[in-house]
Structure 1
Amino acid sequence: MIVIGLTGSIGMGKSTTARLFAEEGAAVHDADAAVHALYAGEAAPLIEAAFPGTVRNGVVDRKELGMRVLGQPEALAKLEAIVHPLVRAAESAFLEKARAQGAKVAVLDVPLLFETGRADRMDAVVVVSAGEAEQRGRVMERPGMTEAMFQSILARQTPDAEKRARADVVIDTSRGVEDARAQVRRALAKLSGG
C-alpha cells in the first residue's frame, strides 16, 4: 500500500482534493474530521483541563478555544501536545484498517505535514496550491475570518513555494474541480506506477 501525505496551506483546496482522491478509490484519512471527532470525544476533557471554559456540553467550543490559542505560541503548543498524539493514533488505526481491507493507496490529509516533520514518513507527498490571490479570496470568505487571524495562521505554515518545491506532485486547484480531478488521476497513476 502506498501512503500519500496530502497537504497545503489554508485556503488552497486541500479538503476538496482529498475528496477527489476518495472518489478515485483511495482510502482517505481527514485530519480535520479526526480533530472534530476528538473535540467531541476523548480530547474534550483533556482540553477543558488545560483551557477551562472551552468545553460546552462535552464538546470543545472551537471559537472559544481559537481565541485562547491563536497568536499565543505557548498555548498553541500546549493544545498541540494534547491533540497531535491523538490524531496520530487515529491515523495509525486508519492505516491498519486500510491495509487489512486491501487498499492500494492511502491518503493522509495532514494540514501541517512539513511543519511537524512528517513528510519523510510518507511514500509520497502531494501539495495542493492555488496561488496567493486565490488563497486570500477563499480564506477571507470564511465566516469570522479576519486579516489578523489569516496572518497568524500563515505565520505558522511553511510558505507555499517551499511546499511546492518539496512535493512529489503539486495539484493546482485554481482552475476548478474538474481540472483538479484530472490532476488527481494523473498523480495516482504516477505514484502507484500505473
Structure 2
Amino acid sequence: MLNIGLTGSIGMGKSTTAAMFREAGIPVYDADAVVADLYVKGGAAVAPLEAAFPGVTRDGAVDREALRQRVLGDDAAMARLNAIVHPLVGADRGAFFKHAQEAGADMVVLDIPLLFETGGDRNMDAVVVASAPEDQQRARVLARPGWTAERLDDILKRQLHDSEKRKRADFVVDTGQGLDHARAQVAEIIAALRDPARRPQRNNPAT
C-alpha cells in the first residue's frame, strides 16, 4: 500500500484536492479533521491541553484561538502542544492504516499541512503539493471570516514557501485553473502512481 503525502500552504486548495482523491476512491487521512475531533467537548486532547495551558478551554472544548495565542511565537509552548497532540493523532492514524489495508486499498493519501516542515515527507512513497498563484491564495484566505492580512502573513512565515514545496514535490496540482482542471490532474496522478514505470522512486521505508 502506497503512502501518498498531500500538502500545500494555506489557501492553496489542499482540502479541495483531498476531496478529489476521496471521490476517486482513495482513502484520505485528514490530520486537521482529527485534531478538530480531539479538541471538541469530550475530545482526548481537552484535559491535557487545559492542564498544560490553563484557560484555553471553554465549555469543555478547546478554544482554538485562545490556544493559538498561547503558543504564538513561543517555540517551547509549541513543543509542549505537539508533545500532547501528536501521539493522539498518531494513534488515530494507525487505526486508519489498518482499516485501509483490510479494505484492500492500494494507496492512501495523508493530508498533512506541515508535511515538509515536520520531515514527514521522508516517510512517503510520493508527495503531492496543491498550489495556486499567490494572489488567488491571499484572496481565498482573506475571504474567510475573521482572517486578516497580518494573521495570514504570520502563518506563512511558519510555512515553507510554496515555490520550495513545488520543487520538493513529486506531483503538483494547480488549483488555480478551476475544479475540472484540478480533477483531471488528480486522475493523472493516481494513474501514474499505479504504474510502476511512472511511480516516483524515493529512498524511504514506506511500503
Cα distance per residue 1:10-69 (max 9 Å; x no partner): 000001110000000000011110001111210111111111111122211112212222
Q: Check the 8 A contact 1:91/1:108 in 2, yes or no.
A: no
Partner in structure 2 of residue 161 of structure 1: 163
Equivalent in the alignment of 2:72? 70
Given that 1:48 and 1:54 are in contact with CA atoms closer than 8 Å, whether structure 2 keeps it comes out as yes
Stretch deviating more after TM superposition (136-145 or 68-77): 68-77
Q: Is 1:191 matched with 2:193?
A: yes
Q: How does 1:117-156 map to 2 (within 5 A)?
A: 117-156=119-158
Measure, in 2, the Cα distance between the counterparts of 1:70 and 1:147.
16
For residues 168 and 68 of structure 2, the distance between their equivalents in structure 1, rounded to whole angstroms, comes to: 30
Secondary structure of the residue that 1:4 maps to in structure 2? strand
Distance 1:132 1:153, change over 3 A: same
1:95 aligns with 2:106: no
What secondary structure is seen at the aligned counterpart in 1 of 2:6? strand
Paired letter, 2:34: A
Residue in structure 1 matched with residue 34 of structure 2 by the alignment: 34
Amino acid at match of 1:6: L
Stretches (4+) displaced over 6 A: none
Question: How far apart are 1:88 and its partner, in Å?
Answer: 2.1
> Cα distance, 1:82 vs. partner?
1.4
| Alpha-carbon contact 1:70-1:149 (below 8 Å) kept | no
Percent identity over paired residues = 57
Deviations 1:63-97 (A, max 9, x none): 22122223333322221221122212211221111
Code of the residue aligned with 1:136 in structure 2: it is R
Between stretches 87-96 and 111-120, larger displacement belongs to 87-96
Alignment RMSD (CA, Å): 1.3
How many angstroms apart in 2 are the aligned matches of 1:51 and 1:36? Answer: 17
Which one of the candidate residues 50, 56, 61 is aligned to 1:48? 50
Which amino acid counterpart does residue 11 of structure 2 have in structure 1? G
- 31-40 vs 53-62, which moves further: 53-62
Taking structure 2 as the reference length, the TM-score comes to: 0.89
- DSSP-derived class of the 1:107 partner: strand
Unaligned runs of 5+ in 1: none
Tell me the SS of whatever aligns to 2:115: coil
Equivalent residue letter for 1:67: Q
Aligned to 1:17: 17
Q: Which residue of 1 aligns with 2:204?
A: none
1:193 Cα deviation after fit? 1.2
Amino acid at match of 2:100: A
Deviations 1:105-155 (A, max 9, x none): 200000000000110101110000002111111111121112221111111
Distance 2:83 2:29 in 1: 20
Letter in 2 for 1:188: I
Does the aligned pair in 2 maintain the 1:127–1:171 contact within 8 Å?
yes
C-alpha distance in 1 between matches for 2:123 and 2:60: 34
TM norm structure 1? 0.95
- Mean Cα deviation higher: 143-152 or 41-50: 143-152
